Amino acid sequence: MYQEFTYNCRIITPMFLAGADGRTPELRTPSFKGVLRYWWRAVQVAPDWKLLLEKEEKIFGGTGKKNCQSKIFLKIEAERSRGENYPPYPLLPHKNSSPRLPAVPKGKNFRLKLRSDPALGNLPNVLFRVVTVLGGFGRRSRRGFGSIEIDKQQFTSREDCLSFLVDTLNKINNIYALQKDKITSQKEGGNYPWVKEIGLGKNGFSDPDQLLKRIGQLTSKYAKANIGSATPRFSSPLYISIVRGGGKYFPIYTILNAVPPEKLNIKMNELANFVKDL
């Protein structure tokens, strides 16, 4: 017998999430589950990566020697009219010549049902609520795209959002503290991307498209800081999502422990300047 949680969700920034053909926009449950898994791992701040992986596979499933079955299952219900074509959106909204791809548009509503083993208690529910604030879904989710919000979990202010986050994070792993407008981990983790710091931009935007444009401008400005690289492959240690509070849209950033390839120098002072400019 499984326990079930149901969420009415709304997309607040375009989502580049494609189906099996790699082109047609589609809300895919494997992608959502992968994001849940990623953030569960990031908030654990574990010293031993191998032990963490064993614990992760017991919750989300794995293909290793033990071949664990997942204890979490997702189902997405989204309406789409026959013949509806999702509009293209620029990947780099701050550039006029940016390539455009079809995206699930902002304002799209969908329902997500999460079933889980009762042995997990309230963890899946708490985790999903954290993920909808800190993370996004699909391509360029580290730069504000694919952000969503849950009905009845809308914030009245920046302070309301940060207070919610620290309280909810500590229900997963009681190591976080809110100090001077920042949430920080009070523990050091191992050699993998774990949450070091979370903060919220002070300037709100009435239009999320303008905020995406601002994030893109800053990404270009600080490109030489090596906060992400295609060659060699390196995922950015800076994750930016978008939340709504008091009728405005704010950038919320997470700084993760950086594990760059050899010879790739991360300029942490530039990363700090990026965050200040948000």
Terminal CA-CA length for the chain: 46
- Residue 52 sits in which domain range? 3-277
Question: Rounded CA gap, 206 and 128, in Å?
Answer: 26
In the chain, % of residues over pLDDT 90: 60
Give 245-265 pLDDT, tens digit per residue: 888 999 999 999 987 666 666
Query: In this model, does residue 80 exceed pLDDT 70?
Result: no
State the DSSP H helix or E strand holding residue 256, giving kind and residue range, or none if neither. strand 248-256
Give the pLDDT mean for 254-277: 80
- Alpha carbons 265 and 272: distance in angstroms, whole number: 15
Using the predicted structure, report yes or no on whether residue 83 has a pLDDT greater than 60.
Answer: no
State phi, psi for 60 to the nearest 5 degrees: -100, -5
What pLDDT score was predicted for residue 124?
96
Q: Which stretch of 162-166, 197-201, 235-239, 267-271 has the lowest confidence by average pLDDT?
A: 267-271
Predicted pLDDT at 225: 65
Question: What separation in angstroms does the CA of 128 have from each of 1, 71, 122, 153, 160?
Answer: 21, 14, 10, 12, 18
Cα pseudo-dihedral 19, 22, 24, 28, rounded to 10: 20
For the ranges 101-105, 210-214, 232-236, 248-252, the lowest mean pLDDT is seen at 232-236
Q: Are 112 and 11 in contact (CB under 8 A)?
A: no
Total structural domains within the chain: 1
Average pLDDT over residues 144-172: 92
How many angstroms separate the Cα of 249 from the Cα of each of 103, 133, 143? Answer: 20, 12, 14
Could you tell me the pLDDT band of residue 184, with boundaries at 50, 70 and 90?
A: very high
**Sorting pLDDT into bands at 50, 70 and 90, what band is 81?**
very low
Segment 153-159 mean pLDDT: 86
Burial of 59 (0-12, 13-18, 19+ CB in 10 A): buried
